[in-house]
Structure 1
């Protein structure tokens, strides 16, 4: 089982996260460009800021505050390790420890402290994202434990909808990752728990200008599900009243433009693209979705013509 502690690439093996040949396979899994750190210094990464001590209720002695910082320094690494390796018992124990420590804070700062313990400060990656980037047989249980804990402490919405801040994956949320990893049960569960559906992953990895480096899919969860041939997720998202099917990405592209863009003029690949395109226009509440133009002033049909995507153009 690949974990960050061993390979530092957040990848999963093929058995855990199968992608059939008929699916669009990403050139690289999302979030693979992880900087490998010196193991002797990894404990220094994402250590709690000394600023948090200003929120402490009982830590009036500066030496005690310093000891507190040192004591909690490696907790985040241990939590990330537990979720990536699928270790529920260690996770529950560690969550109990930070829950106890949070009692030293005022109510609002306790929430901030707990969120900090579950989030990488440099990238914005939460341990929920970390779990989904390392799919294993315990991932569903890990996800349930994390969401139950954050719901108990009243920061579920903040946690489940946290987004990457690092420029390569900026805007990517746990929902994007669960869809990319084809985890239908988890996708439904986090949607039921309040995951937002109109979020946009706008990092460099997802830009059409960087196709050789990453994967363009139109930024939204709906477009990601469509572009990777996941009809059940497409249906699930389109059935949600809050889903904005007309949403446009940074280039003005709708989900239909995204489907045209990722077409590769290979019949097996085109078959699912056309099926997804057809499914969306037939079930979309906006019957003028095909008329929306992107920033180049192109409708999906005009984009197909410009790009020479002949089979999709013929279908449209």
Structure 2
């Protein structure tokens, strides 16, 4: 991978800065791909002191980050200062988090970086600063809009043992059910299949599609959505030549034997997908956004305010996100 990865700051009061520092300090041991952090170098130096580590840092241009990485943590300044203390969210630092995401995306779109890797944000803090997106995924889609058209972002949770996609994402359950449609299921599945081919080297993706209701509706006795919404989408996808199965009962899709029969499980609502992957691969799961004109990965955990600045935060999920981003950047379509 010739270009570096662009890593965002995340919520300054959270563990994002901690795990970024921890990952860089173990760069040789873990054989990490080169990355730079888009953010405030002075803030990172202060956080390193709180963590009790000796951090060598250098402010650079994105183009110089890969050469700097072996000797110093490269930081590309965004012009937004971060002031928050560990575990103490500060609305005044919100622009540092937002600006870091904008800058990283801009660098990747401009060809200065290979992929975006995002640290966790705290949406409640950002809302006070005017952030109006349900989550990271939707914000990134907005940044990727071209000619007034916003791409459909698809959230893939990938791990070595399981890959899952929720069709509806950051919505209250009643709103998710209301939004569910055959068209949304079909468009999501198409994006997943294309992403698995282009970025994961899977030539013929096998997709398992869950039902919405318990036991996939029990032939309509526990709900009709499987018959009226999910099954029509599956029929459409099969006619297009995609390898899809379903609607399947969500409670029998994730045991070991079942997981061997598909490359990705597509679920109707957020928790159907995220509970199994976080149970099976909490430290290894990576959040990937498909459907964007650039690669984006993220650790599959939150800001963990309670341990920020303590040195106890594990960089394992960030390391997995960095490695997967590099792998995706190097993968050619199957």
* TM-score band, normalised by shorter chain: 0.3 to 0.5
The structure with more radius of gyration? 1
Q: Which has the higher helix share?
A: 1
TM-score computed with the length of structure 2 as normaliser: 0.32
TM-score w.r.t. the length of structure 1 is 0.33
